Structure 1
Amino acid sequence: MKFEIKEIDWNDSAVVNNISTLLNTSFNTYKNPMFDPQFLLWKHRDNPFGTSISLLAYDEDGNILGLRTFLKWQFINNEKSLCAYQPVDTATTPAARGKGVFSELTRVALNIAGDSIIYNTPNANSLPGYLKMGWNHTGDIKFGVIPRVVPCYKRCNNIFDFDEKSIELLVGMKKEHLSDNKLTTRKSYDFLKWRFLDIPHINYRIFWLSDECYCVYHIKVRNTFRELTVCELSMSKKESIGYFSFHSQIQALLNYEKCSYAVIGFKDIATDLQKKFFRLPLKHMKFLTKSSYDFNLTLTEVEIF
């Protein structure tokens, strides 16, 4: 099969609409908000770390055969900035499957990425292919949960919609030390604004457990359950919070939001705060990378990408 690969112009609305249609068709969804043109532009064009590596394969008649995108990211390690990419939105039409389109799109994307760090959380179907290509399995994204167990009448006065004031407070905090020599996302003002405030279709809130301990979350409906998804949970270096105080406040939050449980994700080893959640032993996401680095990740980095 003959095909041509071109970089995507995210300012071309017709192309963006075609990509949205391709993704919905490929994943058998209808108007999936994660494939909405507005969401795709937020994700791939407006990212403060830079525009995604974005490629389309076309046949000789100009029809789209496949899509491959690598989301650009920036990590820090001992204050050193490192460029990284995560393969994200990918699709091929039925006619292009098994014809080398996906492999060629991947080859071209990796060539553009050069020596940058590449990482991914593939599903069970694509995992063997990544391992065959030489990617390294360097641990898992693991999960913890706190169920709402009893009615709680403690008032929640410290819940706010995530706004620019929230960003200023988070940037100004000197947070707990998370790791030794692991890569962490550079969480600047621009990043936090993009990730939690400018994002389409998802409304984030912030809950202050104390003056310098907080969680950033949103509500997700799963079947008949309301899930409180915690993306960020952190405190300042000088702060501490006891087990029972923490759980009573989370119970109050769950009661206030009418959620059945709170869930959190973390890479391999939880922080002191994350350890207060009950581990889900059978739920995890494989983490692969084409580098020798290890990472500190939460749902901030992997939840919607």
Structure 2
Amino acid sequence: MEIRKATPGDLPEIVNLLRASLGESLIPKSEALWNWKHVENPFGKSPALVAEEAGSICGVRVFLRWEFRQGERIIKACRAVDTAIHPDYQGKGLFKNLTLSLIEEIKSEGVDLIYNTPNTQSLPGYLKMGWEKWGKLPLKMHFNLSVGKSKSLSQVSNWESIRHLIQALEKTPKETDSVNTNLVAGYIHWRYVKCPLFPYHFISDGETYLLIYRIKEGKIGRELRIVDFFQLAGFDSNGRKQLNSRLKTIEKNESVRFTSYSGLQFGKDNPLEMGLMPVMSIGPEVTLRQAAMREETLDLPWAWSLGDLEVF
């Protein structure tokens, strides 16, 4: 068996392996999704390894490149994402071999850390390979008591109308000590406008703030899930009032049963009016693993948004 770097010519076989190993119940596997995720990413192409035997690919391991920013400091990261082992090769240590080999690969490139949000089945395996639990993200929910028939008035988002705001956000580093996703040029367009999995929408004044959300159908009703929030220095009390007023209008028009946000980006200066329900630590479980970085990653002042950690 040979473990080697994946090449563009491997893509059809990799996609077939992902389908055979993981199915498509949660996220449909396709070459278009792979290219958006692993080739068009503004942080760079994803490092990927494959295991090959007798001319066939039997395993694949991919890390998604990411960058965080703390003031003037750039932290190079990867997110442990796609992995698939052919059923005939499962239980033989191939997943671990591919993962540890890829870690050594990215260390030489100066990647500082790896992060992900593993499910309960995969978590023990990651912990054995050196990942550490940071903990579960806080989750805030607000239930709407009166829900009428959906008018679906917010389903079309004209992202071009806020192009100048997006450019300003990506050119203006946050003046904070917290660790946020580095808003490189093209990030917001790639992450939210071009995402092939589901549509994202926004609330904005076009000048000082941008709240990004998506509508999700669930067992207990329609959810408005807030995934990211960005602001410039001019965002003030009037902007807060406008934001919350527009959010309430969308909740009504979309017949939203509840609104949620999970993450650390709001902190104490939360601009959203989300009722009296307490914040619960039931969001995604975040794990971290040091690569080239020497300092303790768990102690960094993280300010993750759900958009950084959402499964895609």
TM-score range, shorter chain: 0.7 to 0.9
> What 5-or-longer segments of structure 1 have no aligned partner?
none
Residue deviations 1:196-234 (CA, integer Å, cap 9, x gap): 122224222211268533311122222473222211124
Matches within 5 A, 1:127-146: 127-146=123-142
Residue deviations 1:166-192 (CA, integer Å, cap 9, x gap): 242133259999795332111133111
Whether 1:262 aligns to 2:259 is yes
Give the Cα separation in 1 of the matches to 2:152 and 2:230.
18
2:16 is matched with which residue? Answer: 21
2:145 maps to a residue whose letter is: V
1:89 is matched with which residue? Answer: 82
Pairs aligned (count): 297
Deviation of 1:269 (Å): 7.1
Cα distance, 1:216–1:91 mapped onto 2, change above 3 Å: same
Give the strand-richer structure, 1 or 2: 1
1:100 is matched with which residue? Answer: 93
> What 5-or-longer segments of structure 2 have no aligned partner?
291-295
SS at match of 1:237: coil
Give the Cα separation in 1 of the matches to 2:230 and 2:46.
28
Of 293, 298, 305 in structure 2, the residue corresponding to residue 298 of structure 1 is 305
Give the Cα separation in 2 of the matches to 1:58 and 1:113.
20
| Percent identity between the two aligned chains | 26
2:293 is matched with which residue? Answer: none
1:24 maps to a residue whose letter is: R
Cα RMSD for the two superposed structures: 3.3
Give the Cα separation in 2 of the matches to 1:304 and 1:282.
18
1:259 maps to a residue whose letter is: V
Cα distance, 1:181–1:290 mapped onto 2, change above 3 Å: farther
SS at match of 1:6: strand
Conserved 8 A contact 1:84-1:118: yes
Give the Cα separation in 2 of the matches to 1:210 and 1:279.
31
Residue deviations 1:39-74 (CA, integer Å, cap 9, x gap): 111001111110111111112x22221111000011
1:64 is matched with which residue? Answer: 57
Q: Relative to structure 2, which stretch is displaced further, 84-93 or 119-128? A: 119-128
Cα distance, 1:158–1:219 mapped onto 2, change above 3 Å: closer
The TM-score, its normalising length taken from structure 1, stands at 0.83
Deviation of 1:279 (Å): 4.5
SS at match of 1:76: strand
Give the Cα separation in 2 of the matches to 1:174 and 1:62.
44
The TM-score, its normalising length taken from structure 2, stands at 0.81
2:303 maps to a residue whose letter is: N
Conserved 8 A contact 2:67-2:181: yes
Conserved 8 A contact 1:158-1:207: no
